Amino acid sequence: MAIYQYTAKDKAGNKFSGIYNIENVASLREELTKIGYVLIKARKERSLSAPHKKIKQSEIATFAYKFSGMYTAGLPILKCLEMLEQQTENKSLTYIIADIRQGVESGLNLKNAFEKYRHVFSDFFVGMIEAGETAGELGKTLNMSAEYLEKQVELKRKIKAAFAYPIIVSVLCLVVVSYLLICIVPVFLKLYNQLRVPLPGPTRALVYLSTMIRDGWWAIIIVGFAAVIAIRQLLRKPRIKAMWDDFKLTKMPLFAKINRMVAASRFTRTFAMLCSVGVPMIEALEVAGLVVHNYRMTKIAKELQIDVEAGHPIAASMENHSIFPPIITQLAASGEEAGMLPDMLNKGTDFVDKDIERTINALLVKLEPALTVIMGLIVGFLLLGVYLPMFDYMGHLK
């Protein structure tokens, strides 16, 4: 298979461009002829890199908004996909849209055409497309998917922005410490050797660290890369991944509460939106459990499915799991009684998202001064280790 950038025209003489993944130009011309198009020119493109490594969630949200607008305006699905091919700047996403369009042209329904790229668009997005096709509300479900993705992107942006200062402070601390160990400590060590000054414990520790970094930097890099690879391999094992996911939600210092709130928010919003478009509750719980990408949440989703199948109210089942904030379970109970479960869960999730922001800000109020003090102590220890022999030497001179 090869990727071809082509220009063709329809029966009315309107020209358009697109991308097609096919064996050769002759096959491309034949495929276009089948759907009533005439090939004008085609050019072979270089293979694109793995799509899932380049495509951002914000780009998927933009794609969903455009798709929803075009489809709601009355354009056929194929025409929507053709126009999205032309408008998308990300080449990897363009390739995916072209492949999806080809699948639809070959007779697949939209859900099955997207299924191949579930890892790019997420279980939630594919589930919403399936629900939209089944209910004849594809435009509505695409728009809701875009809104959902936009909220997730905004939540991630707020979390990243909130922790920008601590990260910058930590990086600056690392740079300062590295500079002192690599450039300053060797200069003073040379001076102390010439003066034959005995080195106290803190200075000897600094000298050891400085020598290790300057002479063994390559070993540190190798060990670092090896550690990263080893950790990734370990996290691929279900048992280790389950332990890590549980640690993040229950025992991680400072961040366990925030992680629980984020997981509950994402699970609840996914579940609510799927229910609002007619997805059966059992299936909605399954997809919501997968979307969070956390073994514990997947387990909780399965337990909720069992309870619902047994006839228990979803609100009562949620109360059995401490990960769901009280506002979620209370609004779920009210929603079930009023027949407005999805709406009430969405309102509860909006509240939780605001609470996440408040919790992060409260944490930073405590974290920022602590980081400043820690950085001061580290730099102070380094300077003490550097100048302590000098003070001893000056004392001997007196």
> What CATH number does residue 284 fall under?
1.20.81.30
C-beta of residue 333 within 8 angstroms of C-beta of residue 131: no
Quote the number of domains for the chain: 3
Q: Please state, in angstroms and rounded to a whole number, the distance separating the CA atoms of residues 261 and 266.
A: 9
Residue 292 within a domain: yes
> Both 58 and 15 in a single domain?
no
Q: pLDDT tens, 212-254?
A: 888 888 888 899 899 999 988 888 888 888 899 899 998 888 7
Give the DSSP letter string of 175-231.
Answer: HHHHHIIIIIHHHHHHHHHHHTPPPPHHHHHHHHHHHHHHHHHHHHHHHHHHHHHHH
pLDDT at 207 over 80: yes
State whether 295 and 330 are in the same domain: yes
Same domain, 68 and 93: yes
Domain assignment present for residue 108? The answer is: yes
Helix (H) or strand (E) holding 379: helix 341-397
Question: For position 265, what pLDDT does the model report?
Answer: 92
Euclidean distance between CA atoms 192 and 55, whole angstroms: 55
Q: Tell me what pLDDT residue 50 has.
A: 43
Higher pLDDT, 231 or 17: 231
Residue 261 has a pLDDT of 93
Which tokens is 369 given?
A: 């001064």
Tell me the pLDDT tens digit for each residue of 308-320: 999 899 999 999 9
Distance CA 66, CA 75 (A): 12
Alpha-carbon distances of 57 from 90, 98, 154, 205, 297, rounded to whole Å: 12, 19, 10, 47, 21
In a domain, residue 191? The reply is no
Residue 116 has pLDDT above 60, yes or no: yes
pTM: predicted TM-score of the whole model, two decimal places: 0.74
Lowest-pLDDT range, 24-28, 277-281, 339-343, 372-376?
Answer: 24-28
Q: Are 6 and 38 in contact (CB under 8 A)?
A: no
Per-residue pLDDT of 229-240, as tens digits, reads: 998 888 888 888
Highest mean pLDDT among 15-29, 51-65, 189-203, 310-324: 310-324
Which residues span the domain enclosing 59? 52-147
Residues 39, 57, single domain; the answer is: no
Within a domain: 186: no
Let me know if residue 101 belongs to a domain. Answer: yes
Q: Which of 39-53, 101-115, 125-139, 376-390 has the lowest mean pLDDT?
A: 39-53
The answer to whether position 8 is within a domain reads yes
3-state helix, strand, coil in the chain (%, to 5): 75, 5, 15
Neighbours of 179 (CB within 10 A): 12
Average predicted confidence (pLDDT) for the chain? 85
